Amino acid sequence: MDYLPCVEVEPASPATATVIWLHGLGADGHDFEPVVPELKLPKELAIRFIFPHAPSIPVTINQGSVMPAWYDILHIDFEREVNEEQLLASAADVQALIDREIERGIDSTRIVIAGFSQGGAVGYQAALSYKKPLAGLLAMSTYFATVNIVDVYPANEQLPIEIYHGSNDSMVPEQLAKNSLQFLKMIGFKPNYTSYPMDHSVCLEQINDISEWLQKTLA
């Protein structure tokens, strides 16, 4: 099977857990690679970090320019019109990476899906519709693009979800994250929401919170 190309960061000892971390529009798998040492995770957690590269496709809102993207964005209005078929295909590609991690000996309950912006939208779909229970979902500066079509798999109906967003986000308004939060609560999830005084980015306080959450989730 053809898998998404990825950057992989291996722990010092054989991996017993995996974080699959999806980048945003126009970036690539190297974007969040420098965050790994900043998390200052205990070596005994033995987490493998996988940073997939999105394919390069034309993006309508950027005048059709070809760039790394998990799906096309057709309009940048508040509710965002996206190519759902491409998003679902990207989610399936991420689920194939989860399958591969299980084949490599990682239990599904030791696998976290993380995503920033576009990657977070794919993360929502990939994690909630996955057929086996996962460890958790980290949604950063993103929105739940497939609320109207997602089919939550029973194995992940109680999935721990962390939502992090910038209160000054000029790219993805914070209200979109709050809408995602309300939808998740409505269908029975108990997500944790944290807002930071930042734009469409990641800050040190957030990195510290991610580290703390990963240590708790994968302890």
Q: Which runs of consecutive H residues, i.e. helices, occur in the chain? A: 35-38, 84-103, 118-128, 174-186, 204-217
Give the burial string for 144-159 (b: 16+ CB within 10 Å, else e). Answer: bbbeeebebbebbeeb
Cα–Cα distance measured from residue 157 to residue 76, given in angstroms and rounded to the nearest whole number: 30
Q: Is 53 a catalytic residue?
A: no
Query: Cα-Cα-Cα-Cα dihedral of 5, 200, 157, 99, to 10°?
Result: 10
User: Quick check: helix, strand or coil at residue 15?
Assistant: coil
Q: Which two tokens stand for residue 130?
A: 């996955």
Rg (CA), the chain: 16
- Of 23, 93, 108, 117, the active-site residue reads 117
- Of 72, 165, 169, 180, the active-site residue reads 169
- Of 28, 72, 165, 200, the active-site residue reads 200
- Burial of 196 by CB count in 10 Å (0-12 exposed, 13-18 middle, 19+ buried)? buried
Q: Is 75 a catalytic residue?
A: no
CB atoms within 10 A of CB 197: 9
Question: Annotated active-site positions, please?
Answer: 117, 169, 200
